[in-house]
Amino acid sequence: MIRPILSFAIGIAALPTLTMPAPASAQDMINNLPDYTSAWVMGDLMQRRGRDSGDTADSKTNRKPDPQAILARQATYTPSAAVRTKVDSAFASYLAGRRPASAPVLLRALAADSPPGSAFTRLLAAELGNSEDAIRRQLQQGQLQGDYGRWLTTMGYSDRNLFDVNTAFLMHSWSIANGGVTTRYPKITFRTVRDDLMEHQDPGRMAGRSNTLKQEEAQSFALFTALLVSAWENADTRERAVLSSGVAKLGKRIGIDYRQVRLSAEGFAFR
């Protein structure tokens, strides 16, 4: 049985290393905002059931279509250059110290406690450049996003899937909020957290989400996670304290006090 876990508000991911590895050396790393449900759906997990499926030989013989497989397909977006440009532009403005005219929900939540120009934001921006034009060029080139996507691929996941990128976000942000702590079995832990997200997602709601909205959310979470991990790797002790504090504030805003929960191969649980 899985122990009860954290309280996430429905609405909106420890790893042996926090580097952003290249494909050949990949490591085993990872409010009620109405339209963003994947990572923030874990509020219901306080009462979730154990993992024993109760499958028997007969039930496997007559197995129905796997609902998780269907849900995973529903959560995968088809890339659009226009949506990518929109998200990249919002991030470039935010990281350069301006409030974008139109921002993904994740950026709006982040800016509530770490506004443009804050110490936390400047540390993220330093991974890309010292001006909005430089940051925009780096985002357009896509090296950081490409490294992140290839890392997820080596783990067996995709940066085009909401559950995959939200799991990575939850695990990495929890780790950094707690000073870079790690879990003993990162791959198993990743799978457990991802399964929890899927178990408590409403298939009808996911099926009704537009491709544009799915890409906007997935790209936002993937880009933020990649920036956070890269900034953490390059930060000194003082800067790491800033990053830990900033991501802990974001966690509280979306409904989880990262410093009050632990993470293991059984998923998230109160300490």
The residue extents of the domains of the chain are: 23-49+75-270
What's residue 270's pLDDT? 87
What's residue 12's pLDDT? 37
Mean pLDDT within 16-32: 28
What's residue 98's pLDDT? 94
Mean pLDDT score across all residues of the chain: 80
What's residue 16's pLDDT? 26
Q: DSSP per residue over the chain, as a string?
A: -PPP---PPTT----S--S---GGG--------TT--TGGGGGGGGG---S-----HHHHHTPPP-HHHHHHHHTBPPP-HHHHHHHHHHHHHHHTT---SS--HHHHHHHHHS-TTSHHHHHHHTTT-SSHHHHHHHHHHTHHHHHHHHHHHHTT--TTBHHHHHHHHHHHHHHHHTTS---S-HHHHHHHHHHHHHHTS-HHHHHTS-HHHHHHHHHHHHHHHHHHHHHHHH--HHHHHHHHHHHHHHHHHHT--GGGEEEETTEEEE-
What's residue 64's pLDDT? 67
Confidence of residue 231 (pLDDT cuts 50, 70, 90): very high
Mean pLDDT within 241-257: 95
What's residue 117's pLDDT? 96
pLDDT digits (tens, 9 = 90+) for 184-206: 899 999 999 999 999 888 778 88
pLDDT at residue 9 greater than cutoff 60: no
What's residue 146's pLDDT? 94
What's residue 63's pLDDT? 62
What's residue 40's pLDDT? 40
156 vs 68: which has the higher pLDDT: 156
pLDDT at residue 213 greater than cutoff 50: yes
Mean pLDDT within 122-127: 97
Q: What is the pTM of this model?
A: 0.78
pLDDT at residue 15 greater than cutoff 80: no
Mean pLDDT within 123-135: 96
Confidence of residue 61 (pLDDT cuts 50, 70, 90): low
What's residue 46's pLDDT? 32
